[in-house]
Amino acid sequence: MSYKRVLLKLSGEALMGSHHYGIDPTVVSEIAQEVAEIVNTGVEMAIVVGGGNIFRGVKAASAGMDRATADYIGMIATVMNALTLQDALEQEGIPTRVQSAITMQQVAEPYIRRRAIRHLEKKRVVIFAAGSGNPFFTTDTTAALRAAEIDAEVLFKATQVDGVYDSDPQTNPNARLFETITYTYVLSENLRVMDGSAIALCRDNNIPIVIFNLRQRGNIMRVVKGESVGTLVGGTP
């Protein structure tokens, strides 16, 4: 099985590489190269990127900052990451558009669903920035929302681990990797693979989620081709 239209969720931390903060240009270039290979096969790809490598709203709020203000700052951080990805993709020859949920007309288009779909139909990568434009929602939830809005066939969440385990693999060497798992199980067991609201939104719209390790080069192409990589979250809505 291969997919025609997909949404890739990248965390801000994925852009850090071995750094403790900010952006590693080498890592961004490697991601762009993988995405370019996929787009050149005819797959329509949208991307939602986080901002945790620059600013994490929840962390700032826990330190005393107003939560809404902290979240807005985090949204702006995602725009910085989106522009970085756009530049890297266009250096690979891939036409790319950044659509921001917060109006920044000098650097990005406003988010307009029909325009985003048209870009995808023209084989342009669309990067959704600034989250949903609302505080108190994460970029995981944004990824689920945008996937539903653009009629993506699947949501790919790129992480630093191989998938969903029955326990923490860093503390339990015998932890078992799930190949498939249901939305309901993830929610009932409070598995922190994605926010509960993101899982519920995908469940209600019957959008499968594939959680996989971004660090292994070639994994994005493998999951797009439908190979058994990581953990597939799905089941009856």
**74 labeled binding residue:** no
Euclidean distance between CA atoms 44 and 40, whole angstroms: 9
**160 labeled binding residue:** yes
Euclidean distance between CA atoms 211 and 199, whole angstroms: 12
**84 labeled binding residue:** no
**139 labeled binding residue:** yes
**217 labeled binding residue:** no
Euclidean distance between CA atoms 157 and 76, whole angstroms: 21
Instruction: Yes or no: say if 17 and 25 are a contact pair by the CB < 8 Å rule.
Output: no
**137 labeled binding residue:** yes
**18 labeled binding residue:** no
**57 labeled binding residue:** no
**235 labeled binding residue:** no
**10 labeled binding residue:** yes
Cα dihedral 100, 102, 106, 110 sign? positive
**212 labeled binding residue:** no
**135 labeled binding residue:** yes
**81 labeled binding residue:** no
**55 labeled binding residue:** no
Euclidean distance between CA atoms 23 and 15, whole angstroms: 5
Quickly count: other Cβ atoms within 10 Å of residue 167's Cβ. Answer: 10
Residue located via tokens 């598995």: 191
**163 labeled binding residue:** no
**110 labeled binding residue:** no
Quickly count: other Cβ atoms within 10 Å of residue 35's Cβ. Answer: 25
Euclidean distance between CA atoms 237 and 227, whole angstroms: 23
**93 labeled binding residue:** no
**136 labeled binding residue:** yes
**11 labeled binding residue:** yes
**78 labeled binding residue:** no
Euclidean distance between CA atoms 200 and 206, whole angstroms: 10
Binding site: which residues?
9-12, 51-52, 56, 71, 132-139, 159-160, 165, 168
Binding site for UMP: which residues?
51, 71, 132-139
Binding site for ATP: which residues?
9-12, 52, 56, 159-160, 165, 168
